[in-house]
Amino acid sequence: MVVIGLPLRYQKSDDDRSILYISERIRRTFQKAGAYTLPIAPVQDVDYMKTRGNEFLELTDKEKDIIDFSLSLVDGIVFPGGIKITPYDRYLLERCIELKIPVLGICLGMQLLSCYKEEIEIDKNETELNHNQESDFGFCHKVKISKNSKLYEILNKEEIEVNSFHQYHGTHNSYYKISAVSEDGLIEAVELEGDVFNIGVQWHPEISYDFDENSRKIINAFMNAAISKKNQKVVEKECV
Give the three-class secondary structure for 221: helix
C-alpha distances (whole Å) from 116 to each of 53, 58, 173, 194 are 14, 16, 8, 16
Let me know: does 167 contact 212? Beta carbons within 8 Å: no
pLDDT in tens, 21-71: 999 999 999 999 999 999 999 998 888 888 887 788 899 999 999 999 999
Please determine, for residue 240, whether its predicted confidence score (pLDDT) is greater than 80.
no
Residue type, 45: D
pLDDT in tens, 1-32: 999 999 998 888 888 888 899 999 999 999 99
Q: Which DSSP category does 157 fall into? A: -
Interhelix angle 61-72/87-99, rounded to 10 degrees, is 50
pTM of the model as a whole: 0.92
d(CA 216, CA 86): 29
d(CA 140, CA 165): 10
